Amino acid sequence: MSDHPSTYTPKTGIEKWLDARLPILRLAHDSFVDYPTPKNLNYWWTFGGILSLCLGIQIITGVVLAMHYVPHIDHAFDSLERIRRDVNGGWLIQFVHSNGASMFFFAVYIHMFRGLYYGSYKAPREVLWLLGCIIYFLMIATAFMGYVLPWGQMSYYGAVVITNLIGAIPIVGPSILTWLQGGFSVDQATLNRFFSLHYLLPFVIAGVVVLHVWALHVCGQNNPTGVEVKSKEDTVPFTPYATVKDGVAMILFLMLFAVFVFFLPNALGHVDNYVKANPLQTPAHIVPEWYMLPFYAILRAIPDKLIGVIAMFAAIAVIFALPWLDTSKVRSMRYRPVMRWFFVLFVITCCLLGWCGGQLPEDMVFSLGKDTAGHAIGLKVVHLSQILTAYYFAFFLIIMPWIGLKEEPLPVPASISEAVLLNHTKHS
Amino acid sequence: MSPFMTKSLKLLGGLAVAATLGLGMPALAAGGHAKKLQEAEFSFEGPFGTFDQAELQRGYKVYREVCASCHAMNLMSFRNLGQKGGPFYDERYSNPNDNPVVKQIASEFEVAEIDPESGDEVMRKATTSDRFPSPFRNDEAAKASNGGALPPDLSVMAKARHDGANYIYSLLQGYDPEPHGLTVAPGQHYNVYFPGDLTSAWTGDHDKVPAGGVLAMAAPLSDGRVTFDDGTPSTLKNQSRAVAAFIAWTSEPHAIERKQTGVAVLLYLLIFFGITYLAYRQVWRGKH
């Protein structure tokens, strides 16, 4: 924390010499060794470390892949196969990178839901939350452009669908679209610039991550009780306590990662992306990667294209506004008996929106029978998406402000230490 | 907020959760329109499965004698046939370019080359480093010879379809007789496993539209079509199975290496986890 005095003492001559000129070792010591962390952090708090690991893995594998990848519409698809077939260890690097994107999003969603449940976005952590939202937005952009690079059918048609959304903007839309695509269709110019930006953005993300960690270290971590750290009794030093706990979680996460890379490397992708892009043959069913499906469902839930696009971007924008939408004085939903139910429902809504995003809008969720013309009657995917979209926005714009004012929270412990002791007596 | 209101809100929340789950579940059971694929139970399935080399050799023969007359395999070189895990891998030749079987196979093909003296295109014997020659000079020639349809490249076909190996295996055996009431255009062929919607071509009962679709490829295999050198009976089933296994291998030649590495990686991570967890218990003792 900011008021935490530095305890770093340079031992050797070299360390003393460096400390007087660039106290980088002092910074590292104060940030990752002596930094006090609340002692009641649970495993949901390990995803910050896991996410740094994900970013590192993506950058390292990505840099190696870029040494072999050819950003050309005639060669991109085959160059990926060449990496998988002929580059030494190429199959491993490529599968780690492609599955790594999914793992990255899986971890970031848990990280975000954790922040939402425990109120980690509330004062004084608004800037920390905003920086996190910026990272998430950059991740979406990076992942989208990365998915275009293999130049398979889904790459190509994903790029066509998403860039054309910009064209829905009145007056300036078509000009922006042309500027974005580098021409009048998704083509060589689009692929080349997406490759350039896909290489650039991860380093921008890394920069924002530094700010995110900085902001975190100014306010200190939130914790499951949502009660601020009050005394030294409430904390333990980052090393060894948090490092070893993060280590355990990282290894478990890597095991899940390994199961996908080595045994289900294509399970999270789409088979059509192993068909080379063909601008003359539209696939029957264009879908984004799983981590974009909820937003895709929101887009398609609304019949009007422009309003659909606005809704989709608003669904991301509303997350930025969260610190100012929550009116509750209590941080952690542990002590919010009503809100926690709406939170559970929100998580389920996001998952179901994801499911809807993968279906055709006219498909039936369930049918109750047939009308006289032989058409099925029942709930269509598009209708379910509309209900879920309504809840998604209501959660942020109505439920969050309203419940915060009306709810009677449970008694909040006086300090972290008290909560820990209370937990002990309950279990023994 | 009164306790009554809190209670009712909780109930409402709970009901909504239950309703959402209830709605979601039947939706997950929705199915497709083509007939359910046959399960070949290949040797390479599962985390420990490996390719059956004899089956890959039979599969290569089916590909070469039947499929290759229309379908290219542009990503495959002859040397691949002799690499570790390949149909003609021989441990005496760690460099597949030295493998005499692979050399022999390559020499049976001719490839085009530009003569450096004259600049003319001349034909020469293929070498192990050459790609499998394409059956047609270009896509237009391929379409012209196939009623306007382009026979797709088969290099990664097993990855490019759901449950690819079983799909190829099933499709090749799926040329059932056309049901009465189905209008199939000339040059098209009915197949129960081909994804499609036959509603518009169906004159029978609305509720009984046949499964499957129509495609330009006629049934390529039949009993006795390819003679297997190892004495395996040349049934349609065996040919389909062998060529499906071969295409599964060409789609991902490192699949077995991948799975074997995975077992080692997971074992390593498991031990690493055990040690780190013990360290965690030791460090946190008495702290929470």
What is the 3 state secondary structure string of B2-25?
Answer: CHHHHHHHHHHHHHHHHHHHHHHH
Say which of A244, A254, A406 has its CB closest to residue B1.
Answer: A406
Q: What share of chain A in percent tops pLDDT 70?
A: 99
Percent of chain B with pLDDT over 90: 80
pLDDT tens column, B85-134: 999 999 999 999 999 999 999 999 999 999 999 999 999 999 999 999 99
Average pLDDT on A401-414 reads 95
Q: Which residue of B has its CA nearest to A404?
A: B1
B197: nearest CA partner in chain A: A284
| pLDDT for res A363 | 87
Closest-CA residue of chain B to A243: B280
Q: What is the mean pLDDT of residues B232-245?
A: 97
**Out of B10, B30, B74, whose CB is closest to A338?**
B10
Residue B23 has pLDDT above 90, yes or no: no
Mean pLDDT of A265-291: 94
Cβ-based contacts of B30 with chain A (< 8 Å): 359, 363-364
pLDDT of residue A372: 75
In angstroms, the separation between the Cα of residue A414 and the nearest Cα of chain B is 17
Chain A, nearest residue to B272 by Cα:
A251
In angstroms, what separates the C-alpha of A58 from chain B's closest C-alpha? 19
B273 CA to chain A: closest CA distance, Å? 6
Give the mutation candidate from B4, B12, B20, B162 for the A interface (greatest A CB count, under 10 A). Answer: B20
Residue B17 to residue A272, Cβ atoms within 8 A: no
> What average pLDDT does range A87-102 have in this prediction?
97
Average pLDDT over residues B17-29: 50
Task: Verify whether the Cβ–Cβ distance B283 to A341 is below 8 Å.
Answer: no
Query: What letter would DSSP give residue A124?
Result: T
Beta-carbon neighbour count of residue A410 at 10 Å? 11
Whether pLDDT at A408 is above 70: yes
Name the helix (H) or strand (E) containing B121: strand B121-125
Nearest to A345 among B17, B160, B253 (CB): B17
Site from B8, B9, B250, B275 to mutate, A interface, most A CB atoms within 10 angstroms: B9
CA distance B183 to chain A (A): 22
Please tell me the predicted confidence (pLDDT) of residue B11: 65
Quote the CA–CA distance of A316 and A225 in Å, as a whole number.
27
Question: pLDDT band at residue B286, thresholds of 50, 70 and 90?
Answer: confident
Cα–Cα distance list, A354 to A65, A350, A384, B282 (Å): 30, 6, 12, 41
Gap between the Cα atoms of A103 and A257, Å rounded: 7
Q: How far is CA B103 from the centre of its chain?
A: 27
What is the pLDDT at residue A284? Answer: 85
Is the pLDDT assigned to residue B27 strictly greater than 70?
no
Residue B32 reports pLDDT greater than 60:
no
Position A41, amino acid? L
Weakest mean pLDDT among A148-157, B8-17, B55-64, B73-82: B8-17
Amino acid at B197: D
For residue A249, which of A118, A60, A107, A150 has the smallest C-alpha distance? A107
Residues in chain A within 8 Å Cβ distance of B275: none
Structure tokens, A425: 């007596």
Q: How far apart are CA A395 and CA A170, in angstroms?
A: 29
pLDDT score for A5? 80
Residue A249 in this model has a pLDDT that exceeds 70: yes
d(CA B6, CA A46): 33
A254: chain B residues, CB-CB within 8 Å: 269
With bands split at pLDDT 50, 70 and 90, how would you rate the model's confidence at A3? low
Report ipTM (2 d.p.): 0.92
| Nearest-Cα residue of chain B relative to residue A391 | B16
The answer to whether the Cα torsion of A165, A170, A174, A175 is positive or negative is: negative
Joined together, the tokens standing for residue A384 give 């379910």
Q: CA-CA distance, A317 to A311, in Å (whole number)?
A: 9
What chain A holds in terms of domains, given with CATH numbers, is 1-34 (no CATH), 39-279 (1.20.810.10), 289-325+337-408 (no CATH)
% residues pLDDT > 90 (chain A): 89
**pLDDT at position A78 over 80:** yes
| Neighboring chain B residues of A341 at a CB cutoff of 8 Å | 9-10, 12-14, 17
DSSP codes of every residue in B179-228: PTTB---TT-EEETTS----GGGB-S-GGGPPSSEEES------TTSS--
Kindly state the average pLDDT of the residues B1-25. Answer: 59
Which residue bears the tokens 């922006």?
A: A176
Domains of chain B: 32-49+158-272 (1.10.760.10)
Q: What is the pLDDT of residue A423?
A: 82
Q: Encode pLDDT of B191-213 as tens digits.
A: 999 998 898 899 888 888 899 99
Cα(A76)–Cα(A225) distance, integer angstroms = 51
Q: By three-state DSSP, how is residue A370 classified?
A: strand
Show residues of chain B in contact with A272, CB under 8 Å.
160
| B181 burial type by CB count under 10 A (0-12 exposed, 13-18 middle, 19+ buried) | middle
Q: Which of B28, B37, B73, B71 is nearest to B195 (CA)?
A: B37
**Please, which pLDDT band fits residue B21 given cuts at 50, 70 and 90?**
low
Which residues in chain A are contacts of B277 at CB distance < 8 A? 248
Chain B residues with CB under 8 Å of A259 CB are 262, 266
Separation in Å, CA of A205 to nearest CA in chain B: 28
Residue B30: the pLDDT is 35
Which residues are CB-neighbours of B1 under 8 A, at least 6 positions away?
A338, A406, A407, A408
Measure CB to CB from residue B27 to each of A92, A365, A406 and give the nearest one. Answer: A365
Q: Which residues contact B5 (CB under 8 A, 6 or more apart)?
A: A406
Check: CB of residue A234 under 8 Å from CB of residue A41: no
Task: Kindly state the helix (H) or strand (E) to which residue A369 belongs, with its residue range.
Answer: strand A364-370
Q: With 50 as the cut, is the pLDDT of residue B175 above it?
A: yes
Dist CA A86 CA B253 (whole Å): 10
To the nearest whole Å, the CA of B284 is away from the closest chain A CA by 7
Is pLDDT above 60 for B4? no
Closest chain A CA to residue B10: A338
Confidence at residue B26, expressed as pLDDT on a 0 to 100 scale: 44
Average pLDDT of chain A to the nearest whole number: 94
- Facing A240 at nearest CB: one of B28, B277, B283: B283
Q: How far is B34 from chain A (nearest CA, A)?
A: 14
Mean pLDDT, range A207-219, rounded to an integer: 96
Q: Which residue of B lies nearest to A373 if distances are taken between CA atoms?
A: B206
Q: Output the CA angle B265-B266-B269, nearest 5 degrees.
A: 85
Q: What is the pLDDT of residues A322-362, one digit of tens each?
A: 999 999 999 999 999 999 999 999 999 999 999 999 999 88
pLDDT at A1 over 70: no
The predicted structure's pLDDT at residue B5? 59
Closest-CA distance, B109 to chain A, in angstroms, reads 23
Q: Which of A79, A86, A239, A251 to mutate to test the interface with B (most CBs of B within 10 A)?
A: A251
Tokens 């380093």, residue located: A203
B18 vs A5, higher pLDDT: A5
Tell if the CB–CB gap between A406 and B269 is shorter than 8 Å.
Answer: no
Q: How confident is the model at residue B3 (pLDDT cuts 50, 70, 90)?
A: low
> Are B192 and B214 contacting, i.e. CB atoms less than 8 angstroms apart?
no
**Would you say residue B76 has pLDDT above 60?**
yes
